[in-house]
Amino acid sequence: MKTHNVRFRDKIQLIIVLMLTISVSICGTWLISRSFISAKSQRIEAAQNAQRMAMYTLVSTAGNSEWNDNRLSGTLRVLEHQVGQRFRLTDENGHVVYQNQYNDQSFQPGMTQNVSDDKMAWRIQINSHDNHEIQIASAISNGEDIYYLESIYPIESVYKSRDYMISSFIGITLVLIVISILVARKVSFWITSSLTRLAETACAIAGGDLSKRVYIKSDDEIGQLANDFNRMADQVSENINKLEQAMERQEQFMASFAHEMRTPMTSIIGYADLMRSQELPPDMRQQAAKYIFTEGKRLESLSNKLLDIIVLQKTNINKQKCKILNLIEQVCGLLEKRMTESNIKIEVCCDDSIWFVEQDLFKTLLSNLLDNARKAMPDGGEITLTTKKEVDTLKIEVKDTGYGIPEDEIPRLTDAFYRVDKARARASGGAGLGLKLCKQIVQLHNGTMTFLSKKGEGTTVSIVLRKEDM
């Protein structure tokens, strides 16, 4: 089935023309009708007054004496000549007393039956020449005799005036329709130009040009629509940019993950093949087994941390009220041997802060931060761990005296598999997932984590936890 699409602009033009045409037609028809009715009423009243005047003249002429037909006929003949009306006079038996001989067909029968001494009868009729006229009948009496006077009063001029007004109105209406079409065309273009620009912008955005915007300077509904459209386009563009960044991060994650898997797997396969293909001296066999074990542990650590990150994204944690100093002391006790071997001193400056945390996750957070600080000081140093509780926040700082982090590297520290010094991190068994895991844990505790570092002077990690609305 074929459909015909009518543009919104054409609909506006059609509506404007139809409304104007209907309004003018209704108003014009009402005015012409009212004018015609008023003019016709005036003519009917004038005809009735003329009938009364003729009756009065007849009665005055006849006097109180016996009425004479010849005298009445003469009076009517004079009145016809003076006023331009045509008369017919009949007696009570229906005999015609007077009637102009050239107007035999003008008077229609049956009028005298509807009259009385105080009542006239009238009707509008069309004569043999298709002209409108009024026929009026009335009764006159001298007390003894009764006569019926009928007259013809022309009113064709009223109908011709009406016809002239109708034809003039039709011509004026046609001119107004033409003018309204031109005006409606201009108005519709003016109204829809903004919508056209909006549609063009939408097509451009749909075609991939996300920078395209529509600029409409107005405070009406169309201007509001344009503003809402631009906000929507900004949001869509922002969401697409975020999606593209997420996809880029995912690709980087997959590439980094493949790289991290390939390095230890290559070492494991190489040393395993060496042990399988030939007899090795005990010391070389021991060294190969050590490499296989070490790289296997790296793969285990990598898989465990990836699993922790994935689980944290899908798990609701159960927080309990804990004394932060106790958790710090437990973590420092677990890391004491490793710190001693690395010639690192830990200084703890904590108050008696109590906070709602998930203990195991919080221990993981502190362990990763302290272990990162240890790796940043291969030649030994000092780590300072402090806590400070305020009304609605708890601040934890881990400060080391290591080699520091370049300023341009700081924003990427929490990216998966990202490492500032890749060779040193890999040598120490790192996979670049520790700070990513720390960020997840801090966010689950309604907190933020920031880094302050200067090359060669160490790094300070600040964690600010905020009370949650219960």
Q: Is the dihedral of CA 205, 207, 210, 215 positive or negative?
A: negative
CATH topology (fold) of 318-466 = Heat Shock Protein 90 (3.30.565)
Q: Is pLDDT of 409 > 50?
A: yes
Mean pLDDT lowest among 38-42, 54-58, 143-147, 170-174: 143-147
Place of tokens 């459209």: 229
Considering only the C-alpha atoms of the chain, give the largest distance between any 2 of them, rounded to a whole number of Å: 174
Question: Closest Cα partner for 292 from 314, 276, 311, 310?
Answer: 276
Bridge-based pairing state of the strands 381-389 and 344-349: parallel
Does 318-466 match 8-162 at the fold level? no
Selection from 32-41, 182-191, 192-201, 306-315 with the highest mean pLDDT: 32-41
Per-residue pLDDT at 256 exceeds 60: no
Q: What pLDDT, on the 0 to 100 scale, is given for residue 297?
A: 73
CATH 2.20.25 given to domain 8-162: no
Q: What is the mean pLDDT of residues 173-196?
A: 85
**pLDDT tier at 432 (50, 70, 90 boundaries)?**
low
Domain boundaries along the sequence of the chain: 8-162, 232-315, 318-466
Q: 373 near 347, Cβ under 8 Å?
A: no
Whether the per-residue pLDDT at 436 is higher than 80: the answer is no
Q: pLDDT confidence of 426, banded at 50, 70, 90?
A: very low
Q: What is the pLDDT of residue 431?
A: 47
Q: What is the pLDDT of residues 53-64, one digit of tens each?
A: 888 888 887 666
Distance (Å, rounded) from C-alpha 189 to C-alpha 9?
7
Task: Write phi, then psi, for 108 (nearest 5 degrees).
Answer: -95, 145
Residue 260, pLDDT above cutoff 60: no
- Range 232-315 classified under CATH 3.40.50.1820: no
